[in-house]
Each structure stands twice: as C-alpha cells, then as structure tokens.
C-alpha cells in the first residue's frame, strides 16, 4: 500500500478526517449498538464485520463508477434505495418477534452469527448514499499524478478499516453497559425494542429521503 499511498500531509489529513467521520455517531453506529444491546458483544462484533464488508463493496463500487451511475440514473438510485429500505423494515419486524424463551421456558439459541453478518452486510451495501459519500470524499485526497483507481480503492479500504475500529469500540462500550441497564435480560429487552425502532426509523428515512446527499 506504501507504493500507492505515500506518507505526507495529504495522507495525514485523510486519516484525521476519516477518524472524525467514522467516530461520529450515525445510522451505522445506532444499528451496531442496538444489535449489541439486544444480542451481546459477539453479535455486535459480527455485525461490525458485515457492515465493514458492505461499506467496502460501496467503496469499490464508487471507485469503479457505481456512484456515477447513481448520479446519472435516478431509477437505479431509487431501486437500490427502496431495496435497502425494505430490508431495514423487514429487520425491524423481525426484531419485534419474541425470541427469549422456548415453549417450556428454556432459552432459545441466539441467531446464527452468519445471519448477523449477512444482515450487517446488506444494511451497509444497500445504502446507495454510502457509494455517493465515497465518490465525493475520496477524490479530495487523491493525487492526480498517481494511479487514481488504485488510490481510490486503497483509501476506501483504509476508511473502512478505521470505521471498523471505531464501530468495535462502540460495541465494547455497549456490551459493558448492557448488564448495567438492570440485568442483561432487561438490557436485551431494551435492545430488542430499540433495534426495532432503529431499523424501522432507518428504513422510513431511507425510503423518504429525497436527495442524493453524501453518507
């Protein structure tokens, strides 16, 4: 990566800006924190990995011109946006389903980590505003004298790595706080309803937000 991204003021500015943006709470942080409160630290960290892979897909898509397609085609943007909104609303509905105990009161197994990873991946990937964010943000730190595509991909990967680190910190804090909400069962109940509210709110926001603003 050193051959693509040369140390210097431009790279330092990118790292600082990425850290500030990644650490600022937003929809992704809300998703990860509520998942952690509802299902624990492993679920939160698994969701972080899924979100990171989805964001990396958007970064690659932006680098390869997906954002340009969204900018030119309102139809393509709308289709992806509504698909993401529908998936978030589905997750909100699923979060409300009781899952704390089986027919005889025994605890039910937590959802498979693979499913949590998949949910995080699609929540991030089906957000076209993320691709537009990368398309607007990454060129600000690209050296036109070097290969632009390679730089864009590398910068996107670095941003996703930074965001994964800050998201993981949020997970650890949420996992620490969950038992202090009055016991883990109560924390899980609060997290379940918070998850449903966050998923539904994000789904409605995604469906009815009109502009192609950045992330």
pLDDT tens, residue by residue, 23-32: 877 778 888 9
**SS3 assignment, position 127:** coil
The per-residue pLDDT for 163 is: 94
Low-confidence spans in the chain with pLDDT less than 50: 1-2, 100-109, 183-184, 212-215
Q: Note the pLDDT tens digit of each residue in 185-205.
A: 555 556 566 667 766 776 776
The per-residue pLDDT for 212 is: 45
The per-residue pLDDT for 117 is: 93
Every domain of the chain and the residues it spans = 9-100+110-208
Pure H helices in the chain: 9-23, 27-39, 41-63, 66-72, 74-95, 113-125, 128-137, 148-177, 184-208
Provide the CA 66 distance to its chain's centre, in angstroms.
18
The per-residue pLDDT for 108 is: 41
The per-residue pLDDT for 167 is: 95
């Amino acid at each position: 990566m050193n051959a693509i991204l040369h140390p210097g003021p431009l790279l330092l500015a990118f790292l600082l800006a990425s850290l500030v943006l990644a650490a600022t709470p937003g929809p992704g942080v809300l998703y990860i924190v509520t998942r952690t409160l509802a299902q624990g630290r492993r679920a939160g960290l698994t969701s972080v990995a899924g979100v990171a892979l989805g964001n990396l897909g958007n970064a690659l898509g932006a680098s390869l011109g997906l954002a340009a397609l969204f900018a030119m085609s309102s139809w393509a943007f709308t289709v992806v946006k509504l698909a993401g909104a529908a998936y978030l609303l589905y997750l909100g509905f699923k979060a409300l389903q009781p899952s704390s105990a089986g027919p005889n009161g025994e605890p039910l197994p937590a959802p498979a980590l693979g499913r949590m990873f998949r949910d995080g991946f699609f929540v991030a990937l089906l957000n076209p505003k993320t691709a537009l964010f990368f398309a607007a943000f990454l060129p600000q730190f690209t050296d036109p004298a070097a290969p632009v595509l390679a730089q864009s991909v590398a910068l996107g990967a670095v941003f996703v790595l930074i965001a994964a680190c800050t998201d993981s910190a949020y997970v650890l804090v949420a996992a620490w706080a969950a038992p202090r909400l009055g016991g883990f069962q109560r924390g899980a109940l609060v997290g379940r309803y918070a998850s449903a509210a966050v998923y539904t709110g994000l789904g409605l926001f995604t469906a009815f937000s009109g502009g192609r603003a950045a992330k």
